[in-house]
Structure 1
Amino acid sequence: MGGFENYKPAIAMVGLQFSYAAVSLSTRVALLQGMSPRVLVVYRQAIATLVIAPIAYFSRRKSGGCSMGLRSFYLIFLASLIGVAINQNIYFEGLYLASASMASAMGNLVPAVTFLIAYFLGLEKVKIRSLRSIAKILGTMLCVSGAMSMALLKGPKLLNAELLPKNSVFGSGEEKWLLGCVLLFVSCCFWSIWLILQVPASASYPDHLSMSAWMCFMATIQSAAITLFFERDLETWKLHSALELGCCFFAGIVGSGISFFVQAWCISQRGPLFSAMFNPLCAVIVTILAAIFLHEKIYTGGLVGGIGVIIGLYILLWGKAEEIKETKEETDPKLQKSEWKQVEESLEKDSCKSDLEEPLLSDQSSLVN
């Protein structure tokens, strides 16, 4: 029985990646049937708010919680605007113009982009002679190079794709593939900024569940304003099929609701690096299922680039893991081995707290995307 308990976090993370893949594929199908990407963002965030808000309310009543000041409100408003409203609108446009497999593979760029932004902001330190710093730089270069290969070096087409309906603000067609890849990359940049914003936002308002509910609520209003600006026809807001309705509920409940609790539990059990190691699995699942059921176009350049992104991600994560390990050892170099094991077990239990100090791998990343 004890052995099964040890495998529970891994089983939960594998199931979570399958749920992410299902959200990506169902969203892609809904967009191909003519649903507006901007309307989908509004409905998804509204449903996520209805799921998270009651839980956050009763949890806050039981624990007392903390009050929201002007600074907290500003940070949460900015995080929801950048990380949810703008980011998801750009992401769904890219998902529509490119493919579900491309969107999932591009998502692995987030740690590398976050590392670059954090480095320029002074949040990450690089020592040229340090092996872990070289690993982080090399991993970032492989991730970016792989993403460029996916977008630019198509190579022979392995599978054909269906024609897209014209429901994007950028139009549709084969020539929009590169634009879709660019939008997905820009989405990764916005998502990375959102991860970094979690540090001051969480410090100012440490009630994470309540903050998540507020973020979903604000993102709903912001996304609605963006949609009203682009979609002047009110007919666009109507859901014309059970598939579109089911996609909105599935993305809101599973993609933004249940996934938050599952990943938060896994991080509390094994730490943020353990959680991040499973991210490439989603790209593999989406690529296989999209090729089988959606007949998406797959290019050899995209396949090679995707492998490069995944390898770069693991090299980057290894370098980050070594850095965290060395930081822990430097806190008290006089600890004996037997004493260090006890401290390490305690640090693993508190990994959610230490995660707020590491913007590269925030445990909030599953909430929205």
Structure 2
Amino acid sequence: MWMMSNLKLQETVPFAVMVAMEGCTIILTIWAKSVMTNYGMSPFVFVVYTHSLSSLFLLLSSFLFRCCSSRGDSTQQSVFTWALFVRCFPLGFTGITVSQNLGFLGLSYSSPILVCAMGLMIPSFSFLLSISLRRAKLDWRSSSFQAKVSGTLITIIGAIVVELYKGEYIRKSSVSSSYWYINQLQLRVEKLGLIFSSEKEHWVVGGLLLAASTLSVSVWNIIQMGTMKLYPQVEVMEVVTFYSLLGTIQSAMLSLFLERNPSAWKLKLNGELLLIVLTAIFGGLVRSRVQHWCMNIKGPYYVPLFKPFGIVFATIFGVSLSANSLCYGSVMGAVITGMGYFIIIWGQIREDEKHDQDHCVDENLESSSERKVPLLQEENV
């Protein structure tokens, strides 16, 4: 009985934690959208302040972790080498400077649900990049390759729908509930000015910026995978700290050209400072640590499976807690994009399973040949 309850707990806790992570991400995204729209906070300033604080938290935590782990190992060497700097510089450029600045600029022009939909295109862009860079083979007979192709097409169709088609309103901005407590809640939310969506004429611009941000994240994924293969002995969080610091410096230099208004750097005591602190803590420390913990327990594909939950939360919050309207076209396009996302993930899982099976077969054949013909090998030597 105790074993059964322990197994249920092992299944329930990671699930609940990942769902909560996606919900917190959407809440912070809607909050950032509202602050940018209501108080005119610059997205470039927001990125610099957020990642400066996040890099500080990461640097302190990495330093403490390294000090604790190196007490019994006097031979441990520093990882901050010139070669690692060369690898981490493009990581910071693609993962923070380009993706974050374009992402929050696109959010200021669009909606959190469009952010969710475009974020689901990361596997599609990664697949297209792997094909163009000849990192993946064109095997049309493989079911995994077919799944990736069909999932990519479905994802692109969904992104086009959410980008160009609005449809009827699910909820208009005016409060129309007949229940008094819901009516009062929505009135209070609207007084707070929680903005969910921008005007229609800015929607396409925001979508294009978010698509470019997603493409940058896909490039970052490829560089990150190559970096961890070259430096398997380096802790993941140390690499994250290094490229986060470099990306913050790059973003600060970029913002000097893009945001020349000195008053934009002055934080107001109206929620901007609290939003920056919470976003830095959540994005820099909490989310990365929790995702790393879940992947160690449940495998590498457990965390990506929860990304479409953002669409559910964005729809719920957009209908109930935002001061703007939400349209059927946006939700429908996001759902289509999520379907394509799951198909691509399924194809990647099938491909990895086949690769592991082939690797096991090769190892068995190699060990079998070594046992059968040891004398022939000795004669060749």
- TM-score of the aligned structures, taking structure 2 as reference length: 0.81
Instruction: Tell me which amino acid in the other structure corresponds to 1:115.
Output: F
* 1:75 to partner: Cα distance: 1.4
Alignment of structure 1 residues 83-102 onto 2, 5 Å: 83-102=95-114
Alignment of structure 1 residues 1-369 onto 2, 5 Å: 1-2=5-6, 3-33=8-38, 34-61=40-67, 62-63=69-70, 64=76, 66-160=78-172, 173-205=199-231, 206-333=234-361
SS at match of 2:138: coil
Counterpart Cα distance in 2 of 1:330 and 1:282:
36
Cα 1:18/1:173, change in 2 over 3 Å: closer
Counterpart Cα distance in 1 of 2:236 and 2:52:
18
> Over residues 233-257 of structure 1, what are the superposed CA-to-partner deviations in whole Å (9 max), with x where a residue is unaligned?
2111011124101110111101221
Counterpart Cα distance in 2 of 1:72 and 1:161:
50
* 1:19 to partner: Cα distance: 1.7
SS at match of 1:273: coil
1:364 aligned partner: none
Comparing 230-239 and 123-132, the one that deviates more: 123-132
1:348 aligned partner: none
Counterpart Cα distance in 2 of 1:76 and 1:98:
31
Preserved contact between residue 94 and residue 216 of structure 2 (Cα < 8 Å): yes
Cα 1:120/1:242, change in 2 over 3 Å: same
Cα 1:79/1:161, change in 2 over 3 Å: farther
Counterpart Cα distance in 2 of 1:187 and 1:102:
12
Instruction: Tell me which amino acid in the other structure corresponds to 1:271.
Output: G
SS at match of 1:241: coil
Instruction: Tell me which amino acid in the other structure corresponds to 2:156.
Output: V
Preserved contact between residue 267 and residue 274 of structure 1 (Cα < 8 Å): yes
Cα 1:335/1:203, change in 2 over 3 Å: closer
Counterpart Cα distance in 1 of 2:41 and 2:277:
14
Counterpart Cα distance in 1 of 2:89 and 2:325:
38
* 1:230 to partner: Cα distance: 1.5
Comparing 196-205 and 9-18, the one that deviates more: 196-205
Preserved contact between residue 99 and residue 296 of structure 1 (Cα < 8 Å): no
Instruction: Tell me which amino acid in the other structure corresponds to 2:96.
Output: V
Instruction: Tell me which amino acid in the other structure corresponds to 2:214.
Output: C
Instruction: Tell me which amino acid in the other structure corresponds to 2:55.
Output: T
> Over residues 44-75 of structure 1, what are the superposed CA-to-partner deviations in whole Å (9 max), with x where a residue is unaligned?
10111121111111222324354333221011
Unaligned runs of 5+ in 2: 71-75, 175-197, 365-381
Comparing 200-209 and 139-148, the one that deviates more: 200-209
Counterpart Cα distance in 2 of 1:75 and 1:184:
25
* 1:316 to partner: Cα distance: 0.9
Counterpart Cα distance in 1 of 2:172 and 2:203:
13
SS at match of 1:272: coil
Instruction: Tell me which amino acid in the other structure corresponds to 1:83.
Output: G
SS at match of 2:50: helix
Counterpart Cα distance in 1 of 2:358 and 2:205:
46
* 1:104 to partner: Cα distance: 1.6
* 1:173 to partner: Cα distance: 4.7
> Over residues 284-327 of structure 1, what are the superposed CA-to-partner deviations in whole Å (9 max), with x where a residue is unaligned?
10221123222333233222211111111111111111111111
Between the aligned residues of both structures, percent identity stands at: 27
> Over residues 71-117 of structure 1, what are the superposed CA-to-partner deviations in whole Å (9 max), with x where a residue is unaligned?
21011011101210111110011111011111122111111111111
